[in-house]
């Protein structure tokens, strides 16, 4: 492979990509912040890529790695891909905008599909396990305030991305999530037991707001469980780490 380096924040630098790619895997996140005067719900990076790909012959397929955060808080309900999006944060709204851009390219003739991805973990990924937060003693929510969280091992996600490039259906959304059915505190407790570390303290949501950063609290404000039937049936992905217990055991 010959890498071509470009910057999606500088459109001219990626124009040479036009007409070269037959299959495109787009994993670039939206910007974490936007410039003053720019609509904070728009993802200029994805729109830049889409406009570039339309300059010449279109690729055969495109897969976009989105986030399960586009659903907002679902109060712990099981969620299928047909559920309407309801993004609650500017970050999630930019993801919804990116999905719209991808669908627009799909209407132009590209077999475009979207993977909605939850929390990615892996023992060999920087920050890819709860070990660091356990060592810091960061508290988690008590059971009555806790939220359901979803996970995918990085290796399984990579395999899902490749499968989607060849097997993804046009204009189709797929949850790239494993089979785990855990609340966030239970996930961290499981990691503590596997690593031989003390379980974190449990606190109320009111205390968490006072003690934890806003970014951490944003992940504790949404609860949902992702149905991954399409991942298995349509993309025919067999998870090597179907639960976080097997995936975390290596680290």
Domain assignment of residue 122, yes or no: yes
19-54 pLDDT, tens digit each = 898 999 999 999 987 777 788 899 999 999 999 999
Count of other CB atoms within 10 angstroms of residue 61? 21
Query: Domain containing 140: what range?
Result: 11-248
Domain assignment of residue 65, yes or no: yes
Of 84, 27, 28, 67, the residue nearest 149 (C-alpha): 67
β partners of residue 26? 64
β partners of residue 175? 116
Domain assignment of residue 83, yes or no: yes
**pTM, two decimal places:** 0.94
> DSSP alpha helices (H): ranges in the chain?
44-53, 90-107, 131-136, 154-167, 184-195, 205-211, 214-219, 229-233, 244-248
Domains of the chain: total: 1
58-111 pLDDT, tens digit each = 999 999 999 999 999 999 999 999 999 999 999 999 999 999 999 999 999 999
Higher pLDDT, 215 or 115: 115
Domain assignment of residue 172, yes or no: yes
Q: What is the pLDDT of residue 138?
A: 93
Domain assignment of residue 159, yes or no: yes
How far apart CA 30 and CA 237 sit, in angstroms, is 27
CATH number at residue 230: 3.40.50.720
Domain assignment of residue 1, yes or no: no
Domain assignment of residue 110, yes or no: yes
86-101 pLDDT, tens digit each = 999 999 999 999 999 9
Domain assignment of residue 5, yes or no: no
């Amino acid at each position: 492979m010959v890498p071509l380096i470009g910057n999606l924040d500088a459109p001219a630098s990626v124009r040479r990509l036009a007409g070269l790619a037959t299959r495109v895997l787009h994993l670039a996140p939206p910007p974490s912040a936007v410039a003053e005067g720019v609509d904070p719900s728009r993802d200029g990076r994805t729109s830049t890529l889409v406009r570039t790909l339309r300059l010449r012959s279109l690729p055969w397929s495109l897969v976009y790695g989105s986030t399960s955060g586009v659903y907002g808080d679902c109060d712990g309900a099981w969620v299928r891909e047909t559920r309407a999006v309801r993004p609650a944060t500017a970050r999630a709204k930019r993801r919804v905008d990116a999905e719209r851009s991808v669908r627009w390219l799909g209407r132009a003739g590209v077999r475009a599909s979207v993977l909605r991805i939850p929390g990615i973990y892996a023992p060999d990924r920087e920050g890819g396990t709860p070990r660091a937060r356990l060592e810091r003693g960061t508290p988690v929510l008590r059971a009555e305030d806790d939220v359901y969280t979803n996970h995918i091992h990085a290796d399984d996600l990579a395999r899902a991305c490749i499968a989607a490039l060849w097997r993804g259906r046009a204009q189709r959304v797929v949850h790239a999530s494993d089979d785990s059915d855990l609340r966030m505190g239970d996930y961290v407790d499981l990691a503590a037991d596997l690593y031989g570390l003390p379980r974190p303290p449990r606190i109320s949501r009111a205390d968490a707001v006072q003690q934890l950063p806003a970014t951490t609290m944003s992940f504790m404000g949404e609860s949902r469980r992702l149905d991954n039937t399409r991942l298995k049936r349509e993309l025919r992905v067999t998870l090597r780490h179907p639960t976080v217990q097997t995936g975390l055991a290596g680290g």
